[in-house]
């Protein structure tokens, strides 16, 4: 396993991040426990969850599952860099969502109880809160750091100017601010390259890419379709129809390289400047094993150029649309 610092921090994290969103609603607890044990054994030390994950089991169910896994001992918690998130509403009562100082305090304490730990390594804002001032947000986070309940702050689904503003307000308070930004980024969805990636790199944030396979569309979907192993519906089917020629060219190119499409898509992210790790969210042990293979894929300049031809990206703004 390769490790790197998360943004400008001194925190060392694995180049793959284990996402837990499927644990509980789609992956039964015994299998989820086995996947987490396998991830640690393979060297993945970076785990991501959120207080709203749980599906039909309700918000907090996934955090509770992870907490029971920590409680099994064996240095599971000590070996894990734990990231969770807040913002989403956990009930219909006022102040049980967003980023008010009150919700930060309550949501953090609730996550700590569910996760059966006394601190969270990276406490992430799941979305920008346009109604709460940064002075209030940072004051609440500073208090949590002083109490030893969190070590670092991160963001998710922020625009570039949100990152710049957050960091400017943190510097004004002599606070560390954000060390990471988690956002959708993959070969099909490259809007991050316009402003978020440049803002993250300029402000010392490591980028964590969620949906690295675009909901499975970059995981060999056409091959599975031909074999009768997968049939898409709804939005995924519409996206596939719109990008079918490019996805076919991508799968053909992956075959030429001698790799599976999903391995190439993950490896491409690992080659992008500013990207700390893609999040792999396995439902099964086999999917975890698939994700680990990407670490062995090296893409040379010619391969990266070919992928840019198949899935054109963006220059940083404003050069992408002006001079």
- Which of the residues are catalytic? 53
Cis geometry, peptide bond prior to residue 14 (ω within 30 degrees of 0) = no
Which residues of the chain form beta strands (DSSP E)? 3-5, 12-14, 17-19, 46-48, 81-86, 120-125, 150-156, 178-184, 206-210, 275-280
Q: φ and ψ at 88, to 5 degrees?
A: -60, 150
The answer to whether residues 98 and 131 touch, using CB atoms and an 8 Å cutoff, is yes
Instruction: Give exposure, 223-251, as e/b (b: 16+ Cβ within 10 Å).
Output: beeeeeeeebeeebeebbeebeeebebbb
Q: Count the residues in the chain.
A: 323
**Cα 259 from Cα 98, distance rounded (Å):** 42
């Amino acid at each position: 396993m390769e490790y790197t610092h998360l943004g400008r921090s001194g925190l060392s994290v694995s180049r793959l991040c284990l996402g837990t969103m499927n644990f509980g609603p789609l992956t039964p607890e015994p299998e989820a426990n086995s996947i987490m044990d396998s991830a640690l054994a393979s060297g993945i030390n970076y785990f991501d969850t959120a207080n709203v994950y749980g599906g039909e089991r309700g918000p907090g169910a996934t955090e509770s599952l992870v907490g029971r896994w920590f409680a099994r001992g064996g240095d599971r918690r000590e070996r894990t860099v734990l990231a969770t998130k807040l913002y989403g509403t956990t009930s219909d009562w006022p102040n049980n969502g967003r980023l008010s100082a009150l919700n930060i305090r309550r949501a953090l304490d609730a996550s700590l109880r569910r996760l059966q730990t006394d601190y969270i390594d990276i406490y992430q804002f799941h979305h920008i809160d346009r109604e709460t001032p940064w002075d209030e947000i940072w004051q609440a986070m500073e208090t949590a750091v002083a109490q030893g309940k969190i070590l670092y702050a991160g963001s998710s689904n922020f625009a570039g100017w949100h990152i710049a503003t957050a960091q400017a307000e943190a510097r004004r308070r002599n606070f560390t601010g954000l060390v990471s930004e988690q956002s959708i980024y993959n070969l099909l969805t490259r809007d991050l390259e316009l402003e978020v990636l440049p803002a993250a790199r300029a402000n010392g944030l490591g980028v964590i890419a969620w949906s690295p396979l675009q909901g499975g569309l970059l995981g060999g979907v056409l091959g599975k379709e031909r074999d009768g192993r997968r049939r898409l519906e709804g939005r995924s089917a519409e996206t596939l129809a719109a990008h079918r020629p490019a996805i076919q060219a991508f799968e053909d190119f992956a075959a030429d390289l001698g790799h599976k499409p999903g391995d190439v898509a993950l490896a491409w992210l690992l080659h992008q400047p500013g990207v700390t790790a893609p999040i792999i969210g396995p439902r099964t042990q086999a999917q975890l094993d698939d994700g680990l293979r990407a670490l062995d894929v090296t893409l040379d300049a010619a391969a990266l150029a070919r992928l840019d031809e198949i899935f054109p990206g963006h220059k940083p703004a404003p050069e992408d649309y002006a001079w």
